[in-house]
């Protein structure tokens, strides 16, 4: 019997050469994006003022199973990919579990998360189209940092609207973005019509991703040389993130290991969508595949308590409507620390696959329990995880403990999406016992859902 190494790296030559488009294999495609005024399915022409041309096409592409990765993007990937698949031997020992635990680590680049995988693709297509720059929003700051790196690499301007409470929690994220040449504005800001209207409603607003999106889109629409970019939720983002799952599957195949349980944290759904990309195709064709678990914060429980409904992707209601699990586009989550998971909606692809049972399970955890799992992991595996990633760790630990109770030797694979070096203020709050397992009041959920658009 061969011993499985701590780390498995594919060689550079084994780096995937094409993105996998799960829509080509979905039995039921997600319902189309709808134009916010006409309520008709959007066309590439509708999307082109917002996204650059190639990305607008990718957004609506439901037929091409594989989309080749351009050489310029592959060159950048080679600087930090393939990422390692790690066997968590030390965590297994700590848990005294018969389960085998693996994680795919995406935190090993300067931006510190998987978001660089799509940032570099989106910047490339914008550059190729001859644009001057792009705008975006960022919550916790990982996406803004990743896009700042990508824009610096291709020589594009970048304007980032950062959720106000995150700037206060994570000041060094702003410094990182500025170091890579980006302009960072706190959202809601008084520089846009949307921002001024949010401030008129609540001058002390802590901000939300939905508000920041409205501002970033407004600014990009005002200049024909700019386009808007988004770090999650969209089909194009899941497409680019498929590289995570393709690498994971190839590495497991080399080890002759089959995953029984696949776990990803879920904010907008992009890392989970990327991780499952190596596994879901067989399942959709009627074959075997791992039991898939999406994990979210109890304070922003989109899949576990939201409604499967058409909704706007932003608070200002300027984006197309998507059929997705949603808490309502006006929903502002409690100022918890899992910044990257605080979005009201969920990727339409993930939503449809969950609705149809191909993603079998979603669960939520309170932040205090999540940090306890993060610290348990950090102390034995060495890596300090991002709080978002720690949701997946918590689920992996729970599953491994179940295996111990039942004497089962399952293979658990989870996505470790990012590192936590920028999240020390959140760790400080946990260490000082200031965190609570904040949930979501049924009454505020109900009043938010009552405002869903009728389509």
Ligand X SMILES: *Cc1c(COP(=O)(O)O)cnc(C)c1O
Summarize as ranges the residues that interact with ligand X (CB under 6 A).
113, 115, 142, 232, 265-271, 340-341, 386, 388-389, 417-418
Q: Which is nearer to ligand X, 23 or 115 (CB)?
A: 115
Q: Which is nearer to ligand X, 100 or 296 (CB)?
A: 296
CB of 267 to ligand X, least distance (A): 3
CB of 84 to ligand X, least distance (A): 16
Tokens of 324: 């997705």
Residue nearest to ligand X (CB): 418
CB of 383 to ligand X, least distance (A): 12
How large is the angle between the packed helices 116-128 and 142-154, nearest 10 degrees?
40
The CA distance from 417 to 383, in Å, is 12
The CA distance from 426 to 208, in Å, is 18
Q: Which is nearer to ligand X, 270 or 309 (CB)?
A: 270
Q: Which is nearer to ligand X, 16 or 340 (CB)?
A: 340
SS3 117: helix
Tokens of 446: 């109900």
Residues 321 and 368 sit within 8 Å (Cβ to Cβ): no
CB of 170 to ligand X, least distance (A): 11
> In the chain, what are the helix, strand and coil shares in percent, each to the nearest 5?
45, 20, 40
Dihedral sign computed on CA atoms, order 252, 253, 255, 259 = positive
Which of 95, 55, 71, 98 is CA-nearest to residue 17?
71
Q: Which is nearer to ligand X, 195 or 269 (CB)?
A: 269
CB of 142 to ligand X, least distance (A): 3
Q: Which is nearer to ligand X, 255 or 334 (CB)?
A: 334
The CA distance from 33 to 319, in Å, is 10
CB of 389 to ligand X, least distance (A): 5
Which of 12, 101, 109 is CA-nearest to residue 392?
101
């Amino acid at each position: 019997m061969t011993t499985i190494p701590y780390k498995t790296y594919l060689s550079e030559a084994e780096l995937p050469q094409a993105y996998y488009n799960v829509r080509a294999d979905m039995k039921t495609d997600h319902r189309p994006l709808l134009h916010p005024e006409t309520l008709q399915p959007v066309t590439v022409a509708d999307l082109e003022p917002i996204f650059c041309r190639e990305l607008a096409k990718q957004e609506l592409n439901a037929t091409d199973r594989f989309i080749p990765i351009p050489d310029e993007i592959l060159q950048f990937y080679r600087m930090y990919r393939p990422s390692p698949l790690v066997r968590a031997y030390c965590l297994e020992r700590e848990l005294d579990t018969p389960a085998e635990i693996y994680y795919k680590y995406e935190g090993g680049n300067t931006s510190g998360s998987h978001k660089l995988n799509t940032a570099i693709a989106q910047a490339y297509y914008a550059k190729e189209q001859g644009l001057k720059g792009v705008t975006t929003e960022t919550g916790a700051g990982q996406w803004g940092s990743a896009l700042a790196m990508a824009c610096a690499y291709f020589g594009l301007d970048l304007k980032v609207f950062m959720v106000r409470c995150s700037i206060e929690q994570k000041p060094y994220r702003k410094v990182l973005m500025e170091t890579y040449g980006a302009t960072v504005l706190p959202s809601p800001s008084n520089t846009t019509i949307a921002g001024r209207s949010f401030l008129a409603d609540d001058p002390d607003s802590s901000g939300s991703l939905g508000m920041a999106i409205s501002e970033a889109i407004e600014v990009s629409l005002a200049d024909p040389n700019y386009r808007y970019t988004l770090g999650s939720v969209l089909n194009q983002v899941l497409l680019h993130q498929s590289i995570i799952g393709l690498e994971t599957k190839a590495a497991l195949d080399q080890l002759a290991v089959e995953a029984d349980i696949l776990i990803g944290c879920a904010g907008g759904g992009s890392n989970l969508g990327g991780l499952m990309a190596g596994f879901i195709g067989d399942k959709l064709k009627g074959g075997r595949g791992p039991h898939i678990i999406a994990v979210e914060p109890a304070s922003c429980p989109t899949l576990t308590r939201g409604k499967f409904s058409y909704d706007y992707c932003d608070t200002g209601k300027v984006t197309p409507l998507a059929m997705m699990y949603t808490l309502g586009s006006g929903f502002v989550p409690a100022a918890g620390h899992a910044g990257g998971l605080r979005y009201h909606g969920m990727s339409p692809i993930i939503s449809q696959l969950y609705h149809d049972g191909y993603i079998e399970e979603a669960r939520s955890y309170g932040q205090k329990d999540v940090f306890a799992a993060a610290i348990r992991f950090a102390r034995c595996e060495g890596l300090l995880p991002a709080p978002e990633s720690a949701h997946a760790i918590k689920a992996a630990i729970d599953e491994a403990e179940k295996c111990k109770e039942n004497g089962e030797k399952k293979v658990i694979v989870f996505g470790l999406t990012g590192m936590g070096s920028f999240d020390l203020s959140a760790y400080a709050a946990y260490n000082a016992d200031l965190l609570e397992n904040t949930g979501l009041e049924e009454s505020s959920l109900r009043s938010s859902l009552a405002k869903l658009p009728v389509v």
